[in-house]
A and B are shown apart, each in its own frame.
Chain A
């Protein structure tokens, strides 16, 4: 892939902005449009772009399979974990109001945390699916 100079330079220029935008969508999702799912997909598409241009091997050296697989499970566990924590603190499952003294703050905290869980899982699954397809040879 050494021939496509323009693509390589443009990808390197765009990568930080794509990832930054993904993080913005993730943590600003409660004020503007977006949320965990969209952020995860944008984050993944940044890495997929990188893997398309520079090859899957280079992308793997940044995000190896082990991290991706633990991220996939970790996001779901984080989400369910918030539910368990709210159970332990005396509320219903996934009832964020008990997470902090002020129910409103509790709701806000709970939503932010589970959105982060959603984002992690979605991003890791999307990158994993792309890796698996790209590596598959008959």
Chain B
């Protein structure tokens, strides 16, 4: 994955960058499978490697294939990235060790969900029952976010705008 990231940063041809992004997502998906998070891996493979790569390519078709050389110096962005990265790493030092059974995340509501959801919902996949039932409000919000995103794309790039422009052309 690190090699892919370096390649994404170095390569100037955006077509290659889109493809490398897809490869990165696929690697991330296999990492999620190795961590037993199959649902997340599913999403990452379908969205990251599939749809977003195609959307990148669709955007490339209407813009240009080559990345422009940066007009300003790159030192300030590098500095910002380094500081943010250092802050994130510093924050992760306080996290519980991977797989630690004493971690707080395993002691709040997780045991309740694991014990109850089988009997309460008769849905064997705990991920589904937590997402859809225990966290129903959150999921409703997520669906609304996706809906809003779709509406935003239609409003910004949608055909109704071109239809109006065509009409204006005819009138003129």
A binding-site residues for B, Cβ under 8 Å: 25, 29-35, 37-38, 41-42, 44-45, 48, 52, 65, 69, 72-73, 75-76, 79-80, 83, 93-94, 96, 103-105, 107-108, 110-111, 114-115, 117-118, 121-122, 124-126, 128-130, 132-138
Contacts and interface: CB of A to CB of B under 8 A. Distances in A.
Interface of B: 38-39, 42-43, 46-47, 50-51, 54-55, 58-59, 61-62, 119-125, 127-129, 131-133, 136-137, 139-140, 142-144, 146-147, 149-151, 153-154, 157-159
Contacts of A129: 55, 149-150, 153
B25 to A, nearest CB: 12
A9 B129 CA distance: 40
Given A72-B150, A125-B147, A130-B54, A114 B121 contact: no
Contacts of A72: 147, 150-151
A104 B121 contact: yes
Given A103-B120, A114-B132, A132 B153 contact: yes
Nearest to B59: A133
A65 B158 CA distance: 11
A38 B146 CA distance: 13
A130 B131 contact: no
Contact of A118 (B123, B139, B150, B153): B139
Given A35-B131, A42-B46, A110-B133, A121 B146 contact: yes
Contact of B42 (A31, A34, A96): A34
A128 to B, nearest CB: 5
Contact of B146 (A32, A122, A137): A122
Contacts of B50: 41, 45
Nearest to A92: B136
B150 A128 contact: yes
Nearest to B152: A129
